[in-house]
Amino acid sequence: MACLLKAPEGSLKGCVVFTTQERDLVINKSAELRATIQALKQRYVIGLHHNWHDHQFHYDSLFDFSMAGDGDLIEADGKGFARVPLDACNFAPACYSASRGEQFWDILYVARAVAFKGIPEFFQTIRALYDRGLTPRVLFICPLPEEVEIPGIADLRTYFEDLFSVAERRRVTFLTLDWEYPFPFDAETLAFFYRSSRIFFHPAPDERRCRTAAYAWASGMPVVCGGNVASILPQRFHRPPLLFSFENPGDATDALATALREGAGLDAHWLDVAAEFSTAPSASRLAHMLDSQATRFGWGEMAKAPINPSGLDIRLGRHHGISMGANRVDLTIAQLCEALSVLSDEDVKSVCAADDTELALRDAWQARSRAGGAVTGLLKKIGLLRT
């Protein structure tokens, strides 16, 4: 979604970041909206959060910078552009790094039931482990969209039950969730399953910037995955027990068996790895990077207030007016731009202090549209400001 990172402070600029889906489905379809966003640049630095890697990326000067990791973007015409090597996956909430409890499950996977998550590869690898005589306790948490379309699988539950016997299914739990897609659990609930598991296995063949793998590293869990998923982990940490990698899908079983045997192990850099994906240190890095890029590319000086890190793992990737459930904010891009155009710096600063900045902006703007008046007072009245 359009994520409001900073409020402007007089001549010092604020910052708002749009998603690539908002760019493609809304912004680029309206010359008027593009002009409105261009006008916002008098008070705001405009970013673009890439919700998928793009190796045919075309730089668009409407956006001052892109949020994407190393190797995620290749500019098709060889143009240079500003890039901040952080995105939603770098902002795991603190609950993931809380003290770990009993590791009841040996293997954890969390993935929506969509084609690119490697669900057939996941089940086949677990099947191969059991065929070797290994019987790890497995938990697969799988939010279900209204329509499940995975090539080669007519019915996901039937596919699973045909692969594993009743006795095996006592140790391999396929937990499907059919409510509040795509985020049926809050962060604290999902983090409990991470802290109660030994190893995270992510077999997706193409996905790169994976929040679910990032949560595992923030939790101090070894991750078994291919090089695409491992791209979010700095290269200096590409080694067991931090990472058990495989290049070919057929090697996933060996990598997972090795991880089960060796476990988390001792490594002096576990805390450094967790910090790469944890909210507080990442918010500080992001603010520093924006200040540095603003100087380098001449955007103007950035506002000095710290970035509110609350919920950035979800907020950076949500969308205004499109998508569904908790991945959607019911305020259009046009309404967002109107709000940012007319609200005072002080009002935007008040919004930025809320636990969920964009929902606070939506509610305050809707209340203002109905009743008029100062946004700050409305925020306090409807309880959206922190106390």
- Count structural domains, the chain: 2
Size (the chain), residues: 387
Structural domain harbouring 201: 94-276
- Same domain for 125 and 150, yes or no, is yes
Q: Would 34 be classed as within a structural domain?
A: yes
Mean predicted confidence (pLDDT) in 308-313: 94
Q: Return the residue matching tokens 């998508």.
A: 323
Q: Return the residue matching tokens 């790469």.
A: 276
What's the CA gap between 354 and 127, in Å, rounded? 46
Contact 384, 361 (CB under 8 A): no
- Same domain for 270 and 284, yes or no, is no
Q: Would 348 be classed as within a structural domain?
A: yes
Give burial (CB, 10 Å; 0-12/13-18/19+) of 79. exposed
Give burial (CB, 10 Å; 0-12/13-18/19+) of 55. exposed
pLDDT at 24: 94
Mean pLDDT of the chain: 92
- Same domain for 98 and 87, yes or no, is no
Q: Is the pLDDT of residue 349 over 60?
A: yes
- Same domain for 162 and 217, yes or no, is yes
What's the CA gap between 257 and 276, in Å, rounded? 26
The 10s digit of each residue's pLDDT in 178-213 is: 999 999 999 999 999 999 999 999 999 999 999 999
Q: Would 387 be classed as within a structural domain?
A: no
pLDDT at 379: 45
pLDDT at 155: 95
CATH of the domain at 168: 3.40.50.2000
Structure tokens at 94: 């603190």
Element (H, E) at 198: strand 197-202
Q: Is the pLDDT of residue 288 over 70?
A: yes
- Same domain for 213 and 293, yes or no, is no
pLDDT at 371: 66
The 10s digit of each residue's pLDDT in 39-54 is: 999 999 999 999 889 9
Question: Considering the chain, what percentage of its residues have pLDDT values greater than 90?
Answer: 81
Contact 77, 197 (CB under 8 A): no
- Same domain for 114 and 80, yes or no, is no
pLDDT band at 385 (very low <50, low <70, confident <90, very high): very low
In the sheet with 14-19, reading across from the earlier edge strand, the strands are: 3-6, 14-19, 44-49, 65-67, 83-84
Q: Would 386 be classed as within a structural domain?
A: no
Tell me which DSSP letter residue 338 carries.
H
- Same domain for 272 and 341, yes or no, is no
Q: Would 189 be classed as within a structural domain?
A: yes
pLDDT at 1: 53
Q: Is the pLDDT of residue 378 over 50?
A: no
Cα 185 to its chain centre, rounded Å, is 15
Tell me the C-alpha to C-alpha distance, in Å, between residue 129 and each of 42, 172, 174, 189, 237. Answer: 58, 12, 16, 28, 26
DSSP 209-273: S-HHHHHHHHTT--EEEEHHHHTTS-GGG-STTTEEEESSGGGHHHHHHHHHHH-S---TTHHHH
pLDDT at 372: 57
The 10s digit of each residue's pLDDT in 242-286 is: 999 999 889 999 999 999 999 888 788 999 999 999 999 999 999
Question: Of 228, 246, 276, which residue sits at a domain end?
Answer: 276
Q: Is the pLDDT of residue 383 over 60?
A: no
Question: Of 276, 306, 336, which residue sits at a domain end?
Answer: 276
Beta-carbon-side half-sphere exposure of residue 106 (alpha carbons within 13 Å): 17
Of the candidates 238, 302, 280, 320, the residue with the CA atom closest to the CA atom of residue 90: 280
pLDDT at 31: 97
pLDDT at 382: 39
> Which amino acid appears at position 297 of this protein?
F
The 10s digit of each residue's pLDDT in 80-95 is: 999 999 999 999 999 9
37-324-375 Cα angle (round to 5): 50
- Coil/strand/helix, residue 153: strand
Q: Would 51 be classed as within a structural domain?
A: yes
- Same domain for 216 and 356, yes or no, is no
Structure tokens at 273: 């790895």
Bridge partners, residue 320, by sequence: 329
Question: Of 213, 241, 276, which residue sits at a domain end?
Answer: 276
- Same domain for 284 and 311, yes or no, is yes
Structure tokens at 199: 């190893």
Question: Considering the chain, what percentage of its residues have pLDDT values greater than 70?
Answer: 95
Q: Is the pLDDT of residue 66 over 50?
A: yes
- Same domain for 115 and 204, yes or no, is yes
Residues 6+ apart with CB under 8 A from 270: 220, 242, 264
pLDDT at 325: 77
- Same domain for 196 and 292, yes or no, is no
pLDDT band at 363 (very low <50, low <70, confident <90, very high): confident
Q: Is the pLDDT of residue 375 over 70?
A: no
- Same domain for 149 and 296, yes or no, is no
Q: Whole-model pTM?
A: 0.90
pLDDT band at 381 (very low <50, low <70, confident <90, very high): very low
Contact 316, 91 (CB under 8 A): yes
In the sheet with 243-246, reading across from the earlier edge strand, the strands are: 172-177, 138-143, 105-110, 197-202, 223-226, 243-246
Q: Is the pLDDT of residue 297 over 50?
A: yes
